[in-house]
Amino acid sequence: MAEEDSADKDSRTRQDNQPNTWERDILEKLVLASVTEHRRTRRWGIFFKSLFLLYLFIILGMAMEPFSKHRLADGTGHTAVVDVIGIIAEGTETNADNIIEGLQAAIEDSATKGIILNMNTPGGSPVQSAQVYDEIRRIKGIRPQLPIYAVVSDLCASGGYYIAAAADKIFVNQASVVGSIGVVMNGFGFVDAINKLGIERRLITAGEHKGMLDPFSPLSPVEKGHIQRVLNHVHEQFIEAVRRGRGERLKENPDLFSGLVWTGAEGIELGLVDELGDARSVAKNLIGAEKLVNFTPEKNVLDRLSHRIGMAFGEVLWNGVNASSRIE
């Protein structure tokens, strides 16, 4: 009887302990899961903090880049470079304000021994080009001893040549394309097209010629003559600027100001340009400061960062496409 009581007591003890063991297992799992989640959260926090610090270092490095290029030059002197690349127009990177800003920064640097205009442009706005031309002439007036040379790579036409004509000399490659001393205004006329489609043009203006050059209205001889006179006047300003800049180096040729273009070698014969050369040879042999420092204003930090990220993404995508093509 005593043995049965002892056995019952042991059985009840084991039953009483079972719930405690189950609860302890649940608690251990919950604690373990909490620790694991905490560690995971901590690792992700460290990752994102590190990524943010890296981002800050990149931003700081990009922000300091202009100072390293412009202000931390050694005392030996350098040749300043200002890019004139692409279409010259308001709203583009190659606008008068940017080019003039680069020129002013270059002359304010005491280590600048000369300036090179790095030219590769089809031209653009005559107003923007004239503003840069005038600024170069102004700089030459206050710093006549500072050489300013234009160096052409592929193309220096129209408004680009307008700017280059203000330089002391213009250097080209024999295959460069130069010239296009002319003015153009173009558009389209859709009068016959809308008539065939049965479309009625409704143009209401206050002012007899306010709808001038409307593409859906017939071209008026009076308005065409007026626009032609305007273009001729701008063309005369262009020609005068070229003659003032190039002087007696220009050869008499009836096609010189016709809007035609020539190779660099032909441009030398016509007096449009001076010699063959590139930026490094001009900096070394003429200016005497072989080190080139680019003073072209850059985009703001965020624009430059987004541009570089876009370029990197495009490169990755392009490499992926090429890899797929090679696999096939």
The predicted-structure confidence for 219-242, as pLDDT tens digits, reads as follows 889 988 999 999 999 999 999 999
Q: Are residues 139 and 257 part of one domain?
A: yes
Q: Which residues pair with 179 in a beta bridge?
A: 157, 261
Neighbouring-strand partners of residue 170? 150
Instruction: List pLDDT tens digits, range 117-146.
Output: 999 999 999 999 999 999 999 999 999 999
**pLDDT reported for residue 323:** 42
Are both 197 and 272 inside the same structural domain? yes
Q: Write out the H or E segment, with its range, that includes residue 116.
A: strand 112-121
How many Cα neighbours within 13 Å face the side chain of 28? 6
Residues of the chain below pLDDT 70: 1-20, 22-23, 47-49, 51-53, 55-75, 299-328
CA distances (Å), origin 203, targets 31, 36, 151, 194, 206 = 79, 74, 48, 14, 10
Q: How many domains does the chain have?
A: 2
pTM above threshold 0.85: no
For 319, the token pair is 């490499």
Task: Report the C-alpha gap between 80 and 99 in whole angstroms.
Answer: 12
Asked whether residue 311 is assigned to any structural domain, the reply reads no
Q: How many CB atoms lie within 10 A of CB 267?
A: 23
H-type helices in 96-175, by residue range?
96-108, 126-142, 159-164
In a domain, 82, yes or no: yes
Q: How far apart are CA 204 and CA 291, in angstroms?
A: 61
User: Which residues neighbour 149 within 8 Å (Cβ) at sequence distance 6 or greater?
Assistant: 114, 115, 116, 117, 167, 168, 169, 170, 171, 282, 286, 287
User: Do residues 140 and 56 share a domain?
Assistant: no
Name the token pair of 113: 């021994």
- The whole-number pLDDT of residue 194 equals 81
pLDDT at position 205, please?
86
User: Does residue 90 share a domain with residue 58?
Assistant: no
The verdict on residue 91 lying in a domain is yes
Rg (CA), the chain: 36
Domain that residue 240 falls in: 73-304
pLDDT in tens, 9-41: 555 555 555 556 766 777 777 777 777 777 777
Q: 254 and 183, same structural domain?
A: yes
Residues 121 and 61 in one domain: no
In a domain, 66, yes or no: yes
d(CA 308, CA 328): 30
Q: Output helix, strand, coil percentages for the chain, rounded to the nearest 5.
A: 55, 15, 30
Alpha carbons 40 and 34: distance in angstroms, whole number: 10
**What pLDDT sits at residue 243?**
96
Determine the pLDDT at residue 42: 74
Amino acid at 111: A
